[in-house]
Every structure is written in C-alpha cells, then in structure tokens.
Amino acid sequence: MSDSLSEVLSQVVGPLIAEDSGELFVAKLDAKEIHLHLRGSFSGCPGNQLVIQHLVEPALRRAAPNAVITVSSGELIPEGAVQWTRVQSPSAPPPRK
Amino acid sequence: MDTGAIALRATAAKVSAPVPLRPISRPKFLLALVTLMLAAACGGAESPSETPVDELPPYTAAEAALYNDSLAPEIFGVESLGKPPTAKETFADLVGKADSVARARLTTVTRTKTPIDGRVRYVLVVEPMGETIVGEPLSPNLELTVGLGSPSLSLLHSMDAEMVGSKFILFVKRYRAHGESVLHFRAEVDSASLADAVRKLR
C-alpha cells in the first residue's frame, strides 16, 4: 500500500467520512486501483457525491494519477475490505490497519 | 422429389449401414439407451438462467431500446414528461420478453472512474423483494451495470449513493454479447397497478 495514498486516506478522506458519521472501508489501495466503500449515514447523504467527486477523488488522483478509482456505497461490503474509519467521537484518532 | 423423401432415404441409408452396436449384448445396449434417455431428460430441465450462451438472443438495437439499462426518472424523484410505462407501445414487448419482473431494492451503488478519459461507470446491486411478479426469481445481490450508453448515467452521477434504498420494479433479460451472457434491465417506479398490468400480459 502506497504511503502517500495511506496519508490521503488518514488525513483527508477518513476525517471527512467520519465527520459525517460514515464508515470507510478500503478494498483495494495501490497505484493502479483504488476501491473505497462507504457505509453508515454518509453513504446515503445527499451531499456525499459532491464530497466524493470534488474532494475525495481529486485527492486520491493526486497521489495515484493512473489509478482506476471505485467508490461503492451501501450495505454490501466488498470482500476483503478493511475498515479504515468507523463511527466515532470526534476526539478519538482514526483507527489504522 | 421432395425433401421429405430425401430425408427418409438418408435415414434408411444410416439404418442399413454396418451396425457398430453388434458386439454389445442386448441388455447392455438397452441399459445404455435408458441411461442416455435419463441424461437427456435431466439436461432439459435447466432453468432459463442456465440457458447456454449460444441460445440467448443477441442484443440488437431493437432490444436495446427495450432493455436500455436505465431507471425511470421518477425513481430519482424527477418528474417525467413521458407516458407512463403501461401506456408505452413497447410495454407488451418489455413484459413479454422479460426473463423476470420483480420488485427490487437498491442496496449498493458502485462508481468507477477510469484515469485517462475520466469515464464513469456504475454497478448497482439490488436484492429482490417479495414474490417475483412474473418469470424466474431474481438472484440475490443481482448486479446491474449502468454504462456509458445508459440514459440514467447523468442522473446517477448527480444522485449517486443517495439512491441506496430505492425500491422499484425491475425488468431483466439476458442476452448474448461477444460470446458471453449479459444481463440488461429497465427499472420502473413500483406500483400495484404496474405489477397488475405485468401479470395480465403474461
């Protein structure tokens, strides 16, 4: 897993999702393919596509310019996905795997 | 000479050809025959979803007009200016050709963006709800692909995961494309009147 991608997830994507009471799962994270899965209240939030398309994807794209980026939302968690952030209190640090 | 006579003569010629079964004893031959008949009977019982790819219809332009991998705009909460589904000229065809028509709920939306051309593709995972309206039961966690050609792509792009939990009536059909079985669909707003109209047509 690339350090720069992990950094983007920990410092940008994870906090954004957690702030909106969402849960972030990472199914794939490398320079060629990134697959994130969202669950919780964030996944059905009317504004989340703006966050994904205008904040999350550009941030990931900067770290992995050639990656195919997949973001799924909903109840079915992709096989082998690792939970990156969970619903938590704002003071708790995001869990790392 | 008619073709029927030719066919009969060809059959007769085959029958009178040297018999390769002669070395096999009569009971063994009968046993083999019964086994073959049983195997053929079992093979014919396969469900439509297991239809060999070669037997599936091709996904022609006419079929693509029926099963265009789209969701009715009303499912997105957008008012449609078009006719209701039951009033469309294509409705009977849509129902008549469906492998399955069933109520379904959208459980997962997956959005994939490629880096070079920035093209976006969606995969929707749906779960069947209640009894199938007509046709074979939908498989659980059925994946529907919404690609570049879909009229719903722009609406999905703007609504995205907001659509999770949406319920609709789903019409699905398998086609043959590039030697593979490909599922195409159309989703309409769930209503009792639509379900009734579908049942009446089948």
In this prediction, the answer to ipTM > 0.90 reads no
Q: Give the CA radius of gyration of chain B.
A: 24
Q: For chain A, what is the total number of helices (H) and then of strands (E)?
A: 4, 4
Q: For the segment A57-67, what is each residue's pLDDT rounded down to a tens digit?
A: 999 999 999 99
Restricting to B residues 117-136, those with a Cβ less than 8 Å away from any Cβ of A are 123, 125
Q: For the segment B51-85, what is each residue's pLDDT rounded down to a tens digit?
A: 899 999 999 999 999 999 999 999 999 887 788 99
With bands split at pLDDT 50, 70 and 90, how would you rate the model's confidence at B18?
very low
Taking CA atoms, B49 is separated from A27, B98, B135, B137, B156, in Å, by 30, 12, 11, 10, 28
Q: Is B161 on the interface with A (CB under 8 A)?
A: yes
Q: For the segment B155-186, what is each residue's pLDDT rounded down to a tens digit?
A: 888 888 889 999 999 999 999 998 999 999 99
A33 contacts on B by Cβ (under 8 Å): none
CB contact under 8 A, A73 and B160: yes
